[in-house]
Amino acid sequence: MQSLAPSSSIGIKSIMRSPSPLPNPRRRVNFSVQSAARSFDSNQSVSAAAPPSAAAGGFTSGGVGKNRADWQSSCAILASKVVSQQQNTEKTGGADNITVVNGHRTLDLVPVVDSNNLPKPLTITDLSPAPMHGAQLRVAYQGVPGAYSEAAAGKAYPECDAIPCDQFEVAFQAVELWIADRAVLPVENSLGGSIHRNYDLLLRHRLHIVGEVQLPVHHCLLALPGVRKEYINRVISHPQALAQCELTLTKKLGLNVTREAVDDTAGAAEFVAANGLRDTAAIASARAAELYGLNILADGIQDDSSNITRFVMLAREPIIPRTDRPFKTSIVFAHDKGTSVLFKVLSAFAFRNISLTKIESRPHRNRPIRLVDDANVGTAKHFEYMFYVDFEASMADVRAQNALAEVQEFTSFLRVLGSYPMDMTPWSPSRDD
Ligand SMILES: O=C(O)C(=O)C[C@]1(C(=O)O)C=C[C@@H](O)C=C1
């Protein structure tokens, strides 16, 4: 269900799903482990790697989302229905197909969109029963069909059965509970920056990063057939997508209208279609336009042609790191003596000529603030952080092992989130630019 929520601090109103009910009791899962690869954590525990076949995760060819009907029936997915919204649209009394939108008369060409055939996102309440295991790799993503995350799942695992989830958290849990085999989740965008929620969830859950994919994100402005740009008084989409198109919307398209945030881009398209909103446009993919029967009013509306989102692939077990192709390793660490450790950690990589590709810091939830003196008396001195670092080396590389051994001496907490093949796909700008 969706309902209107108050404006966010950046002045974008959110259309959010109502709070999900509590999860069903979890099923405990057991799985065999092998001892080929190690991952460090704060307790110096060792977790094991999957065999290479599972590790590779199936980079095969084909389409996304086959056997959706099977998936739906076996999981009894709850349909998340959108609440009809009061529209700013008035129908003329007599003429059958004429609609007046914002004072403009237009032919009413609203198509009958039957999105019932599309898989509905998993919700937290769907997470108890594991469905029958088919041959295809089941890949959880956040959003509804037509979301960029679905495209990323298809790029990562071309033959996969893509499973929509209504929240990132649900995608994590779907893998943990064996409902899905992998999750593909966005972590950063070249224009909008990091998707912090997923950094926090990576720490809270015990999944391993087993790969990455970079997806060029090509946004379109979508509206119901017959609706023209002049009729639009609201644009809705995922907050990242709104941010990625802000300049184009205002400067190029002159759309100085209300923005509202929704859970994902394709969900915005579905919302416009399902509610017959003739005064609202959605920012989403061309595939979403096709799936929900919308027209593309403008194509390639991202502010920069190099609009790329990086997704990570998550699995229950790590892969065996290799050195015969470029690998990346992601770690997270903290130190109970504050941030001064950062320099030492970074130098452990610099001395070994290991390039860093990303540094991110997040608040340390268990220890948010550091106090002035050891007796814990006095005013707050500074915030405490968890640091996330990605570096260009495999855990099978001795340089990386030595660097991490050194890092472990400086830090009070260290966890390897994953060591995985880098996405080396050559990048080219979006179609129109
Ligand atoms: O809304 C979608 O379609 C998504 O897949 C989510 C998401 C994101 O979280 O950043 C992914 C890629 C784009 O950058 C915009 C939105």
Which pair of tokens denotes residue 167? 């929240």
Nearest protein CA to atom 9 of ligand 1, as residue: 186
Please report the ipTM that was assigned to this predicted complex. Answer: 0.93
CA–centroid distance, 368 to ligand 1, in Å, is: 29
Residues 397-430 pLDDT 10s: 999 999 999 999 989 899 999 999 999 987 665 4
Atom of ligand 1 nearest to the CA of 152: 5
| Number of residues written out for the chain | 433
Q: What is the pTM of this model?
A: 0.72
Task: Tell me, letter by letter, the H, E, C secondary structure of the chain.
Answer: CEEEEEECCCCCEEEEECCCCCCCCCCCCCCCCECCCCCCCCCCCCCCECCHHHHHCCCCCCCCCCCHHHHHHHHCCCCCCCCCCCCCEEECCCCCCEEEECCEEEECCCCCCCHHHCCCCECHHHCCCCCCCCCCCEEEEECCCCCHHHHHHHHHCCCCEEEEECCHHHHHHHHHCCCCCEEEEEEEECCCEECHHHHHHHHHCCCEEEEEEEEECCCEEEECCCCCHHHCCEEEECHHHHHHHHHHHHHHCCCCCEEEECCCHHHHHHHHHHCCCCCEEEEECHHHHHHHCCEEEEECCCCCCCCEEEEEEEECCCCCCCCCCCEEEEEEEECCCCCCHHHHHHHHHHCCCCCEEEEEEEECCCCCEEECCCCCCCCEEEECEEEEEEECCCCCCHHHHHHHHHHHHHCCEEEEEEEEECCCCCCCCCCCC
List the catalytic residues: 309, 311
According to the model, what pLDDT value does residue 335 have? 83
Output the pLDDT for position 202: 97
User: Using a 6 Å CB cutoff, which residues line ligand 1?
Assistant: 143, 147-149, 186, 189, 195, 217, 238, 240-241, 264-266, 309
- Which pLDDT does position 242 carry in this prediction? 96
Confidence band for 115, pLDDT divided at 50, 70 and 90: low
Centre of ligand 1 from the C-alpha of residue 68, in Å: 22
Is residue 184 within 8 Å of residue 213, measured between CB atoms? yes
Give the distance (Å) from ligand 1 centre to CA of residue 291: 17
| Overall average pLDDT of the 211-215 stretch | 97
Smallest CA separation from ligand 1 atom 10, residue:
240
**Ligand 1, atom 12: nearest CA belongs to which residue?**
148
Residues 279-328 have pLDDT tens digits of 999 999 999 999 999 999 999 999 998 899 999 999 999 999 999 999 99
Residues 227, 101: contact at Cβ < 8 Å? yes
Q: Report the half-sphere exposure of 288 (CA within 13 A, side-chain side).
A: 36
Q: How far apart (Å, rounded) are the C-alpha atoms in residues 336 and 319?
A: 30
What's the rounded mean pLDDT across residues 214-221? 97
pLDDT for 156: 97
- Report how many helices (DSSP H) and strands (DSSP E) the chain contains, helices first: 10, 22
Q: Convert the pLDDT of each residue in 326-368 to its tens digit.
A: 999 999 999 877 667 889 999 999 999 999 999 999 988 766 5
Instruction: Give dist(CA 179, CA 162) in Å, integer.
Output: 12
Atom of ligand 1 nearest to the CA of 244: 14
Work out the percent of the chain whose per-residue pLDDT is above 70: 64
Ligand 1 center–CA 353 separation, angstroms: 33
Distance 152 CA to ligand 1 centre (A): 10
Which carries the bigger pLDDT value, residue 415 or residue 370? Answer: 415
Atom index in ligand 1 nearest the CA of residue 215 equals: 12
User: Is residue 187 scored above 80 in pLDDT?
Assistant: yes
pLDDT at residue number 256: 94
CB 345 within 8 A of CB 387: yes
DSSP string, 268-291: HHHHHHHTT-SSEEEEE-HHHHHH
pLDDT score recorded for residue 310: 97
Range in 34-38, 65-69, 123-127, 215-219 with the lowest mean pLDDT: 34-38
**189 Cα nearest atom in ligand 1:** 14
